[in-house]
Amino acid sequence: MPSPPCCARSACVCPVWPAACRWAANWNTSTAAPWPRPCGKDAKPSTESQETFMLDIQWLRNDLERVAKRLETRGYPFDPTRFQALEVERKEVQVRTQNLQSERNQLAKLIGQCKARGEDATAHLDRATGVNRQLSELEARLADLQQRLEALLLMLPNLPHESVPVGRDEQDNVELRRVGTPPVFDFPVRDHVDIGETLGLLDFKAASKLSGARFSVLKGGLARLHRALAQFMLDTHTREHGYTEAYVPYLVNAETLRGTGQLPRFEADLFKVPRGEQESHYLIPTAEVPLTNLVRDEILRETDLPLRLTAHTPCFRSEAGAYGKDVRGLIRQHQFDKVELVQIVHPDRSYEALEELTGHAERILQLLELPYRVIVLCTGDMGAGSSKTYDLEVWVPAQQTYREISSCSNCEAYQARRMQARFRNEAGRTELVHTLNGSGVAVGRALVAILENYQTASGAVRIPTVLRPYMGGEDLIGP
RNA sequence: GGAGAGGUGGCAGAGUGGUCGAAUGUACCUGACUCGAAAUCAGGCGUAGGUAUAUGCCUACCGUGGGUUCGAAUCCCACCCUCUCCGCCA
């Protein structure tokens, strides 16, 4: 039986942004995917008391040993016996609880009928009191059990895809390919800090006065180059790669961060913004957070997939675990700009989409003529939400090495499950979407790469050809 | 910042303690009628979870969380959000 779409295409009203479809059509010259147009009788906040886990709990119930083994490859210790014990108890208590609830409902109904007929209901009332006494105890036990199960499972990282190399840390990542050739200089190579400060366009002293360590002030041609980079990336992704540009909030609530997996585990990496009595906001650590959460609690039509979204935003990270790392320069800052790519796709297509998305990020580096390499992260080095991640690393001449400039991940249903982001499949059933994200690319680090790779003997910096239209035709930032 | 109104199924909109998971309209799906369509008629149409021979049965959900009660969409408390007016502001 064909699945009945739950609303007519023409009549469907997008509760996210009612005018969104028109926007996408009018503002985007590309073949951009439309905005989410949830067709939902059910497009309402998910508030089910049933907890939602990071992994499908059915995997654990049905295939515990294999899941445990795969988690081990990520260096995550998981105790199957403890889970098993909790699960057995949960099952027993839940069945008993629901049976009692059923009995209580029956009795309440009976009492109502008696009273309506003016009959005596004392006997039923007595029984109901007894049932409720048992029930309150059982319900408390069930809630406790489910909480403990959740606590156990909430920390689980995603399962790695079978194609991901098994390894402990970044040492075990695998290089897939190198593109471009690192430039050879016939003069002493300077690093981007040296270049920028000598030009008088990069000022860490001022930034430190304003804000402290790990901030920066860019001026003049350098500030413009930074802006040019972001513009160029956005234009490329919207015009050539089919993404819809979005402008999104930089402050988000806790629920949103739970959706993409930053909370509850990684609160220390975030900047929290209290606002009196009200719930705190957080500064986004990446546009992945607001972009991906656009489909939270939505049921999309299958024909809406894939959704391709991009945004240029600042990103804020407290980098709590990075003291002493990359203290010099623009590489590791509390605030940096990034153009982010997000795709919401059909589960059957997410690995194709990962290759495409990575290609979209690579395209930026190719057009900028920056040498880079692509590596696949091993099981031990991936982010918790990812099933497979490619990192793009750009050549940094002063360090004579490749440094990360983009990270492209397929999160499969990990985020979708937390967000309850679904689509209605052909059979008419709801199914979790797969989510992907990747930097396309980090603007600050791209700036570093250009300063260093395009430096000249005279201390100037040549401007990559594709950026010149964004720089008023200039081809050089010079002293 | 001040004042007020309100949050029920895709939409509209009933429901103020008892067969209400929720009337009715509309949209949508299937079937009948039709050469076909429209109209009309009949039926269907939320999400999540549990159980499992089951197209079966059960549980939860009317913004969120708590409370009262044998029984809550309905009563009480707190919170969140939206809208309107005034002020301020880019």
Please give the residue that has the higher pLDDT: either A14 or A219: A219
Which nucleotide's C1' is closest to A99 (Cα)?
B58
Quote the tokens at residue A140. 């408390």
Please report the beta strands in A123-264, taking only residues with DSSP state E, as ranges in sequence order: 174-179, 202-203, 217-218, 244-245, 251-252
| Band of pLDDT at residue A241, cut at 50, 70 and 90 | very high
| Band of pLDDT at residue A47, cut at 50, 70 and 90 | very low
- With a cut of 60, say whether residue A50 has pLDDT above it: no
Distance A73 CA to B78 C1' (A): 46
- With a cut of 90, say whether residue A3 has pLDDT above it: no
Distance A32 CA to B53 C1' (A): 49
Which of the residues of A are catalytic? Answer: 317, 332, 404, 407, 445
Which nucleotide's C1' is closest to A49 (Cα)?
B60
Cross-strand partners of A462: A476
**What kind and span of H or E run contains A366?**
helix A350-367
Cross-strand partners of A281: A273
For the ranges A111-125, A225-239, A322-336, A350-364, which has the lowest average pLDDT? A111-125
Distance CA A70, CA A63 (A): 11
Distance CA A28, CA A46 (A): 32
ipTM of the complex model: 0.82
Contact in structure between A372 and A392 (CB atoms under 8 Å): yes
| Band of pLDDT at residue A244, cut at 50, 70 and 90 | very high
Average pLDDT over residues A357-376: 98
Maximum alpha-carbon separation in chain A: 103
Please give the residue that has the higher pLDDT: either A298 or A345: A345
Average pLDDT over residues A347-358: 96
pLDDT of amino acid A420: 82
Q: What pTM, to 2 d.p., does this model score? A: 0.84
pLDDT of amino acid A52: 42
Q: What is the mean pLDDT of chain A?
A: 84
- Exposure on the CB side of residue A452, measured as CA atoms within 13 A: 28
Please give the residue that has the higher pLDDT: either A325 or A95: A95
For the ranges A20-29, A103-112, A305-314, A419-428, which has the lowest average pLDDT? A20-29
SS3 A401: strand
Quote the tokens at residue A350. 């997410």
Please report the beta strands in A383-429, taking only residues with DSSP state E, as ranges in sequence order: 388-396, 401-410, 422-424
Q: pLDDT tens, A59-108?
A: 888 788 888 888 889 988 888 888 888 888 888 999 999 999 999 998 99
Q: What is the dihedral of CA A390, A162, A65, A437, to 10 degrees?
A: 30
pLDDT of amino acid A58: 78
Strand A434-442 to strand A430-432: parallel, antiparallel, or no bridges (unpaired)? unpaired
Distance A2 CA to B44 C1' (A): 14
Nucleotides of B under 7 A from a protein CB: 9-11, 18-19, 27-30, 44-51, 58-61, 63-65, 70-71, 79-81
The values of phi and psi at residue A195, to 5°, are -60, -50
Cα–Cα separations (whole angstroms), residue A233 to A240, A365, A444: 10, 10, 13
pLDDT of amino acid A321: 62
- With a cut of 60, say whether residue A29 has pLDDT above it: no
Which nucleotide's C1' is closest to A11 (Cα)?
B27
**What kind and span of H or E run contains A22?**
helix A20-27
Please give the residue that has the higher pLDDT: either A399 or A155: A399
- With a cut of 60, say whether residue A275 has pLDDT above it: yes
Distance A142 CA to B58 C1' (A): 16
